[in-house]
Amino acid sequence: MGHLDHATFGWLTPVLSYAMACIGAALGLRCTVRALGATGRSRRNWLITAASAIGTGIWTMHFVAMLGFGVSGTDIRYDVPLTVLSLLVAMVVVCAGVFAVGYGRDRTRALLLGGLTTGLGVASMHYLGMAAVRLHGDITYDPTRVGLSVLIAVVAATVALWAALHTRSPVAVTVASLVLGAAVSSMHYTGMFAVRVRVTPSGTALPGATAMQFIFPLAVGLGSYLFLTSAFVALSPATGEREASVSALRPDERGPQPGEPSGTGPRPARTA
């Protein structure tokens, strides 16, 4: 059995991956709150942004953590198409869960369905990402820990969607995102502690790309997307703020001001 190291760079990758999960969760929750206060095309766009943020945050968390994964006696490579597929699965399934909550008439049923769908999607993303690992030897899993990791993923996803429905203040969103980041990280490391590797030493070259060749640049790109989108969402006015600013520009909706007529008399007709 090869010795598994889940933090070859020390605390750097666990802390950084947790931060990415929190940022993705916070942005996703904020966008979902905006979506629930919007209608039509605006609601759809906010939900898509929320799903992409949560999916990106979860995937980036997983593979930033994987940068610190090492096995004694063998190099590690990643199958590029499978790794990209795991990202797409994360995006699509989280999108389905978020839309179930965003458009569901029965909130409780939508929450349970969305949580189950999203949780299974997160677990699928994790194990697809693990299926992309190439090394000299065989990878097996402890079924009990795998089942526990899937359960954590479903519970975490359900809590995330519940938080999106019930949190409004920035403080509540921040606390919820910290909790969700911890839940997603717990799911990842529970899944990783289920891994068993039997190393078969070999001098042949492994197929695929190294983590630094492929995973690191992609994670940096997706992380940049999260930061830029977070800045955009933070700076864009909420629906209530936008309505307030529009009302402030309409003199006839401000009410009587000092030195102005009370408005009880007839108003002059507006010209086109």
Q: pLDDT 10s digit of each residue in the chain, 272 long?
A: 666 777 677 788 889 889 988 988 888 888 888 888 888 888 888 888 888 888 888 888 888 888 888 888 888 889 989 988 988 888 888 888 888 888 877 888 888 888 898 888 889 889 998 998 998 888 899 999 999 999 999 998 888 888 877 777 778 888 888 888 888 899 999 999 999 988 888 778 888 888 788 777 888 888 888 878 877 787 776 655 444 434 444 544 445 555 555 545 555 555 54
The pLDDT score that the predictor gives to residue 1 is 62
What is the 8-class DSSP label of residue 137? E
Q: Is 137 left (phi over 0), alpha (psi -120 to 50) or beta?
A: left
- Residue 19 included in any domain: yes
Count up the domains in the chain and report the number: 1
How far is residue 130's CA from residue 133's CA, in Å, rounded to a whole number?
5
Q: Which of 188, 226, 212, 219 is nearest to 60 (CA)?
A: 219
What is the 8-class DSSP label of residue 10? T
What is the 8-class DSSP label of residue 212? I
With a CB cutoff of 8 Å and minimum separation 6, the contacts of 244 are none
pTM for the complete prediction?
0.77
76 has which bridge partners?
Answer: 135
What tokens does 118 get? 């999203």
pLDDT in tens, 94-140: 888 888 888 877 888 888 888 898 888 889 889 998 998 998 888 89
What is the 8-class DSSP label of residue 72? T
For residue 179, count other CB atoms closer than 10 A to its CB.
16
- Residue 256 included in any domain: no
- Residue 254 included in any domain: no
With a CB cutoff of 8 Å and minimum separation 6, the contacts of 22 are 57, 177, 178, 180, 181
Q: Residue 267 class from Cβ within 10 Å (0-12 exposed, 13-18 middle, 19+ buried)? A: exposed
The pLDDT score that the predictor gives to residue 239 is 53
- Residue 270 included in any domain: no
First to last CA, the chain: 82
- Residue 40 included in any domain: yes
The pLDDT score that the predictor gives to residue 218 is 81
- Residue 262 included in any domain: no
For residue 257, count other CB atoms closer than 10 A to its CB.
8
What is the 8-class DSSP label of residue 272? -
- Residue 4 included in any domain: no
How far is residue 26's CA from residue 172's CA, in Å, rounded to a whole number?
10
Q: Which domain holds residue 185?
A: 10-203+220-235
- Residue 28 included in any domain: yes
